[in-house]
Amino acid sequence: MIIVSACLAGVECRYNAQAFPIPEVVELVKKGKAIPLCPEILANLSTPRPSVEQCAGKFLSNCGKDLTAEYMAGAKVALAISKLVESKIAILKSKSPTCGSGLIYDGTFSGNLIEGDGIFCTLLKEENIKVYTEDEFQALNFREDFGLNR
Residues that bind ligand SF4 in the complex, under the rule CB under 6 A: 5-7, 13-14, 38-40, 93, 96, 98-99
Minimum distance between the CB of residue 104 and ligand SF4, rounded to whole angstroms?
A: 11
3-state SS of the chain is CEEEEHHHHCCCCCCCCCCCCCHHHHHHHHCCCEEEECHHHHCCCCCCCCCEEEECCEEEECCCCECHHHHHHHHHHHHHHHHHCCCCEEEECCECCCCCCCEEECCCCCCCEEECCCHHHHHHHHCCCEEEEHHHHHHCCHHHHCCCCC
Nearer to ligand SF4, 8 or 146 (CB): 8
Nearer to ligand SF4, 4 or 146 (CB): 4
Nearer to ligand SF4, 135 or 150 (CB): 135
Nearer to ligand SF4, 66 or 144 (CB): 66
Minimum distance between the CB of residue 58 and ligand SF4, rounded to whole angstroms?
A: 17
Nearer to ligand SF4, 133 or 142 (CB): 133
Minimum distance between the CB of residue 64 and ligand SF4, rounded to whole angstroms?
A: 20
The CB density around residue 133, as the number of other CB atoms within 10 Å, is 23
Minimum distance between the CB of residue 27 and ligand SF4, rounded to whole angstroms?
A: 17
Minimum distance between the CB of residue 6 and ligand SF4, rounded to whole angstroms?
A: 5
CA distance linking residue 107 with residue 101, whole number of Å: 16
